[in-house]
Amino acid sequence: MARILLAEDDDNLRLLTKTILELAGHEVHAYPNGLRALDAFEDVAPNLIVSDINMPMLNGFGLLEGVRQKLSGAVVPFLFLTGRSEYEDIRQARRLGADDFLTKPFEPEDLVAAVQTRLDRHNTIELFNTHSAHLQTITMLANVIEARDAYTRGHVQRVQQYAIELGQQLGWTLEAMAILEYGALLHDIGKISVPEHVLNKTSRLTLEEMEIIKQHPAAGAKILEGIPHLHQALPYVLYHHEKWDGTGYPEGLTGENIPLEGRLLAVVDVYDALTSARPYRQGMPWPDALDFIEKEGGVHFDPRMAEVFVELQRAKQ
């Protein structure tokens, strides 16, 4: 069901068009000219506009132009109903940002289908834009956090990539994968609370400094608490340092008591840490790192996840 703004000066055609669209389940607000339709635009807040071209007061092009000048009208799908389909009209309408034409006379099902296609495409684009904007913001945040840590350049994005590969191989659902995509980026968000001199220390950490670092999962969880739409990333943030044998932190959970998200991230996080070079040491060669992950299955890691990850990475090389 969509809210449709309709402008058509022919009384019969306006009533007919309105009825067809209402029968298709839409809410239709109909006006006899472009000016009345434009006046009503903000009150109606339509999801789509259907308009005739030739109308008194303000024609269809004027309506389209007027709508496009409004902030909330910049992307509303616009469908012209026209008896004329001359090249010049189409060109002008395209230039103004019309989405489509329907030439009169039209079959009711053609109108309903044209409207539905515009609405579907618009929803898809909207969903895609929101999702990308969301991920871009999170990526920026993750990069800011990472920039404080001189040794982990590119770590967050590599961890995300490994996590996606492992999640797919484990057959996780699309919804779980969508959360994984940003959960993996955010997993170390709590490091913002660790002082830079501790993060970047090359000599051995004191016990006290170790304790500060161990706070980062809980600190991250606290940050996410205030952001409801990121709550689902919480298991990644809070449990990625738990170990299968119960010797991890912050809660010392064991085996399957550790949420799946934390278990998955532990594998890929350690693998990337091992294989990345640091200023004071070289990265471990990947075959050795995979041997390590394999050996730690059932000790540090979920044994099945460790096995699947090792197999996947070996097959890739």
Amino acid residing at 192: I
- The verdict on whether 191 is a catalytic residue reads yes
Q: Does 146 bind Fe ion (CB under 5 A)?
A: no
Q: Give kind and range of the element (H or E) at residue 103.
A: strand 100-103
Q: Does 188 bind Fe ion (CB under 5 A)?
A: yes
Question: Using CA atoms, how far apart are residues 14 and 165, in angstroms rounded to an integer?
Answer: 54
Nearer to Fe ion, 197 or 316 (CB): 197
CB of 284 to Fe ion, least distance (A): 18
Residue 161 dihedral angles phi and psi, to the nearest 5°: -65, -50
Nearer to Fe ion, 134 or 214 (CB): 214
CB of 181 to Fe ion, least distance (A): 18
Residue number, nearest CB to Fe ion: 188
CB of 175 to Fe ion, least distance (A): 24
What's the chain's Rg over C-alpha atoms? 28
Count CA atoms within 13 Å of residue 25 on its CB side: 5
Closest to 99 in 3D by CA, of 129, 84, 72, 120: 120
Closest to 17 in 3D by CA, of 115, 84, 89: 115
* Interface segment toward Fe ion; rule CB under 5 A; list 78-86, 126-134, 183-191, 273-281: 183-191
* Interface segment toward Fe ion; rule CB under 5 A; list 69-77, 106-114, 187-195, 204-212: 187-195
CB of 229 to Fe ion, least distance (A): 22
Question: Using CA atoms, how far apart are residues 230 and 312, in angstroms rounded to an integer?
Answer: 29
Footprint of Fe ion on 114-143 (CB under 5 A): none
CA 174, 175, 179: angle at the middle one, nearest 5?
115
Question: Contact at 8 Å (CB) between 35 and 57?
Answer: yes
CB of 228 to Fe ion, least distance (A): 23
Q: What is residue 195's three-state secondary structure? A: coil
Nearer to Fe ion, 21 or 221 (CB): 221
* Interface segment toward Fe ion; rule CB under 5 A; list 7-15, 18-26, 150-158, 182-190: 182-190
Question: Using CA atoms, how far apart are residues 1 and 305, in angstroms rounded to an integer?
Answer: 44
Q: What is residue 283's three-state secondary structure? A: coil
Nearer to Fe ion, 99 or 188 (CB): 188
Nearer to Fe ion, 181 or 188 (CB): 188
Count CA atoms within 13 Å of residue 261 on its CB side: 24
* Interface segment toward Fe ion; rule CB under 5 A; list 30-38, 73-81, 87-95, 184-192: 184-192
For the window 254-283, what string marks contact with Fe ion as x by the rule CB under 5 A?
------------------------------
Interface size with Fe ion, residues (CB under 5 A):
1
CA 282, 302, 254: angle at the middle one, nearest 5?
110
* Interface segment toward Fe ion; rule CB under 5 A; list 2-10, 180-188, 295-303, 308-316: 180-188
CB of 241 to Fe ion, least distance (A): 6
Active-site residue (options: 191, 201, 222, 295) = 191
| Cβ within 8 Å of residue 228, ≥6 positions away | none
Which residues contact Fe ion by CB under 5 A? 188
Residues recognised as catalytic: 191
